[in-house]
Structure 1
Amino acid sequence: MKTLNVIYCCRVGFGILAAIVAALVVDLKMGDPLINGITIALLVYFLTYYLLKWQFMNKVEKPTKILTMGIGAYFLIFIMFWVLLITPFLAAPTATFSVDSQDLVVGEPITFNAALSEDSDGEIVKWVWNFGDETSSEEETPTATHYYDNAGEYTVT
C-alpha cells in the first residue's frame, strides 16, 4: 500500500478515535459541547500529525502532505461518529406550562406560558405548541396565544 494511502487510512481511524475520546471526555453540561468537541478533534488531529510525521517523514516527497492528507475524511468521520455517540445521551426537555385564566370563553384569547420549561443539556430555542384543535404553532418565546372557535375539552401539548 502506498504511503499516502496509509496516512489517509490512519486519519480515518484517528477520526473515530477522536470521536470516542470527545464523547467520553466532553461533559455536555459544561460549556458548549460543540466547541468542546471541536477542540478535542483539533487536539487529536495535531497530536496524531506528529505521530504520523515521526512514522512517515522519510517516506513521502513533501512532508506537508502528512499534515494535509486525509484532513477532510478525518473531520467528516469525527463529526459522524461523535454525533452518533453523544445523541443517545441528550435528554429531552421538560415541558411545564400554565394558562393565564381558568375562565375560558370561546373566541377570546388564551395565553399559554411555558417559561418554567427546562432543558438540562442546554437552552430551549423553540417552543412547539399543539392546541388540540388541529392547530399548532412554533414560537421563539415561551408564550403563545390561541383562540378556540368551539367550546369543548382540548389537550394542549
Structure 2
Amino acid sequence: MTQTLNPVITVTVSGPVGSGKSYVLARIEEVVKQEFGNSVIVDAADVDGERRMSGDDLSTWQKPRAGTVIRLEEYTGQGLLSYGEERICRTNELLDVICPTGRQPWILPDALHATIAALMTVYDQELLMKELRKLTGQSTEC
C-alpha cells in the first residue's frame, strides 16, 4: 500500500541583517499555531534558535522599521524533478536574483559580479554562461 506524504508549505522570509526577519517569522509561527493548533506540524528551527539567543519576549526583538515592504507571494512548486532539472531551476532562480530582467550585468555592483564568479565554481559553467548570454542578448551558441 502506498502512503501519501503530507504536503509541505515553506514560508521564507528574506531581507538584510537587522531588518526584523526573525520577528516576522516568530509572528507567523504564532498565528499558524493559533489558527491550526496541533492539526499541523510547525517546523521553525530558525525561530527556535533566535528564541535561544534573544529570549521569548518578542517585544525585545528587532522589528521591521516603518515603511518596510513585506511582499507576500504564492508559488506552486512543480512535481519531483530530476537532479538535472532541479539544478537548472535553481540556477535560473539564482540568475534572476543576480541579474533581474532588464538589468545589464555590466552595470551591477562588484559584489554581484563576485557572486556570479562564485556560482561558476559551484554550478555547471556552460549552463551558467548560456543563461548569462541570454540575459545580455548575446548568442547562446558557443
The TM-score, its normalising length taken from structure 2, stands at 0.26
Relative to its length, the structure with more helix (as a share) is 2
The TM-score, its normalising length taken from structure 1, stands at 0.24
Structure whose CA Rg is larger: 1
Relative to its length, the structure with more strand (as a share) is 1
Higher relative contact order (CA 8 A, sep 6+): 1
